[in-house]
């Protein structure tokens, strides 16, 4: 009888374990569906909008080497800097709107959007002199006179795109926080198709050169912005958008503080890679080294699109769940997002390693560049793996409102640790471009370890309570939540 009792208890325990595993699997599947609902369109939107600049370069490249260099310099130096600032400023809305949605204060989203527009619009005005004085700025950066003069003209022509970006990023965060992301994806795809057509007409057929390319870019970006604004004000967000409000001009100081912290956090990330290019450019045979690093960074950027999709998704999920006072659900979202994105990272890493002697040939026929790029395959693969985790953790930080903390972590890991290590390995130990890349990798690894440590040590119950106080301080009365 005793043996039968023990056997019965084992069967009960086994059944309970099976049910528990089944429940976890079901919960993971539900969370994964919520994640992909945002991540999928976010990935497509990022790729589509990234491709607008790529199309411009493709058409301008047929005009001549100087024209191509001028447009490339404007895109990478002037617009690259501005893009980071505007995207970072818009990320403040990602935190506030997501938490407001979770807390049921949908009525505050339109006010937050207008506050963000005010701040990014003023920021665009402040940044306008960068476009106006692009030519002397580029000359100070030791660019040739011909390229600098032509880039200066092109930079002035694309000033309308600066103000389009000021409106674009806040409104995208407004969509993402509510899970309404397919509209902006479709709009971006249509705009990209229009952009290709406009470039073909203005640059190729009418021969308007760089001015035609600038006009095409201006029209395409403002098409995206105006279509998104029309979608917002046309009644599709009856609770979130109730019209323009003077409340948007209230509490701007705190909003500016969070926006600046978001911008600094992101810009420190983007400038890190610019600094790597500058270090590589000072090596012997810089042309070979820069070509090899450029190939690797291009591959890294394309794989990064997947992680950035999960960055947006987990940011929304974390802010929603914390705003709704569901700390355990927020913690579970982190696990699912990191696991899913890391799976893609492992796949891309294996692909790079398997094709390390072949993938450089897709970009160049120069045997020296092929050899140098192949030698970077292992650190590139490791970087891609880390970058499948790191941006997701950044998304968690944005969703929880930890932008200021992230800015300090970026400074320490990248500029105090990563860059000096890269310079030491590259110059002192004569490891060249590999040493510089290993320094960058070391900075990324240190940051990832620190972020993982912070995530594991986070008291999510405490974070949820802080978000509750935060939303109460920022918003009006909560809307009744459905049971």
pLDDT in tens, 88-100: 787 777 777 877 8
Q: Is residue 140 within a helix (H) or strand (E), and if so which, with residue range?
A: helix 134-140
Tally Cβ neighbours within 10 Å of residue 350: 12
pLDDT at 15 exceeding the cut of 80: no
For residue range 19-53, list pLDDT tens digits in order.
Answer: 666 676 777 788 888 888 888 888 888 888 888 88
Per-domain residue ranges for the chain? Answer: 34-250, 258-475
Residues 6+ apart with CB under 8 A from 126: none
pLDDT at 222 exceeding the cut of 50: yes
| Contact between residue 117 and residue 170 where contact means Cβ atoms under 8 Å apart | yes
Instruction: Work out the pLDDT band at 330, boundaries 50, 70, 90.
Output: confident
| Contact between residue 442 and residue 388 where contact means Cβ atoms under 8 Å apart | no
Tally Cβ neighbours within 10 Å of residue 416: 12
Look at residue 483 in the predicted model and tell me its pLDDT. Answer: 32
Look at residue 157 in the predicted model and tell me its pLDDT. Answer: 94
**String of DSSP letters for 353-392:** HHTTTTGGGGT---HHHHHHHHHTHHHHHHHHHHTTTHHH
pTM, two decimals, is: 0.76
pLDDT at 251 exceeding the cut of 60: yes
Which of 347 and 470 is assigned the larger pLDDT?
347
Look at residue 480 in the predicted model and tell me its pLDDT. Answer: 36
The overall average pLDDT reported for the chain is 82
Helix (H, G, I), strand (E, B) or coil at 328: helix
Instruction: Work out the pLDDT band at 477, boundaries 50, 70, 90.
Output: very low
For residue range 152-187, list pLDDT tens digits in order.
Answer: 999 999 999 999 999 998 998 888 888 788 888 999
Interior angle at CA 56, CA 54 and CA 62, nearest 5: 110
Task: Please compute, for residue 72, the number of CA atoms within 13 A of its CA located in the half-sphere on the CB side.
Answer: 15
Average pLDDT over residues 452-463: 86
| Contact between residue 66 and residue 209 where contact means Cβ atoms under 8 Å apart | no
Tally Cβ neighbours within 10 Å of residue 270: 16
Whats the size of the chain, residue-wise? 483
Look at residue 354 in the predicted model and tell me its pLDDT. Answer: 92
Look at residue 478 in the predicted model and tell me its pLDDT. Answer: 39
The label of the residue with tokens 């019209």 reads: 243
pLDDT at 341 exceeding the cut of 50: yes
Rounded Cα gap, residues 206 and 408, in angstroms: 50
């Amino acid at each position: 009888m005793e043996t039968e009792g023990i056997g019965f208890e084992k069967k009960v325990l086994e059944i309970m374990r099976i049910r528990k595993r089944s429940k976890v699997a079901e919960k993971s599947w539900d969370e994964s569906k919520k994640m992909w609902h945002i991540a999928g369109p976010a990935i497509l939107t990022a790729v589509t909008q990234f491709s607008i600049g790529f199309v411009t370069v493709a058409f301008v490249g047929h005009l001549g080497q100087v024209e191509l260099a001028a447009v490339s310099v404007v895109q990478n130096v002037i617009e690259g800097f501005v893009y980071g600032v505007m995207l970072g400023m818009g990320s403040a809305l990602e935190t506030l709107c997501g938490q407001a949605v979770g807390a049921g204060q949908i009525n505050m989203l339109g006010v937050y959007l207008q506050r963000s527009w005010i701040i990014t619009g003023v920021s665009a005005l402040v940044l306008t002199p960068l476009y106006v004085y692009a030519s002397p700025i580029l000359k100070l950066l030791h660019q040739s006179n011909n390229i600098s003069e032509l880039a200066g003209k092109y930079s002035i022509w694309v000033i309308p795109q600066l103000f389009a970006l000021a409106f674009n990023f806040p409104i995208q965060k407004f969509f993402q926080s509510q899970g309404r992301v397919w509209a902006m994806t479709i709009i971006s795809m249509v705009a990209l198709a229009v952009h290709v057509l406009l470039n073909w007409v203005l640059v190729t057929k009418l021969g308007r050169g760089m001015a035609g390319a600038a006009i095409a870019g201006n029209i395409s970006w403002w098409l995206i912005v105006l279509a998104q604004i029309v979608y917002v004000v046309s009644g599709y967000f009856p609770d979130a958008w109730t019209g323009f409000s003077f409340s948007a001009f209230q509490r701007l100081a705190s909003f500016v503080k969070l926006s600046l912290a978001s911008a600094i956090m992101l810009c420190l990330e983007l400038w890190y890679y610019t600094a790597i290019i500058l270090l590589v450019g000072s090596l012997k045979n810089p042309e070979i080294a820069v070509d090899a690093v450029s190939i690797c960074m291009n591959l890294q950027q394309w794989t990064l699109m997947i992680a950035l999709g999960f960055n947006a998704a987990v940011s929304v999920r974390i802010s929603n769940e914390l705003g709704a006072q569901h700390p355990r659900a927020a913690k579970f979202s982190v696990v699912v997002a990191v696991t899913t994105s890391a799976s893609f990272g492992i796949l891309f890493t294996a692909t790079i390693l398997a094709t390390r002697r072949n993938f450089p040939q897709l970009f160049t026929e120069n045997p020296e560049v092929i050899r140098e790029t192949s030698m970077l395959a292992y650190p590139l693969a490791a970087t891609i793996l880390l970058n499948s985790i790191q941006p997701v953790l950044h998304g968690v930080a944005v969703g929880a409102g930890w932008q200021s903390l992230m800015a300090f972590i970026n400074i320490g890991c990248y500029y105090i640790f990563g860059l000096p290590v890269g310079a030491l390995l590259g110059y002192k130990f004569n490891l060249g471009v590999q040493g510089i890349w290993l320094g960058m990798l070391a900075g990324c690894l240190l940051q990832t370890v620190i972020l993982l440590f912070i995530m594991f040590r986070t008291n999510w119950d405490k974070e949820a309570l802080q978000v509750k106080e935060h939303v109460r301080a920022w918003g009006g009365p909560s809307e009744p939540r459905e049971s």
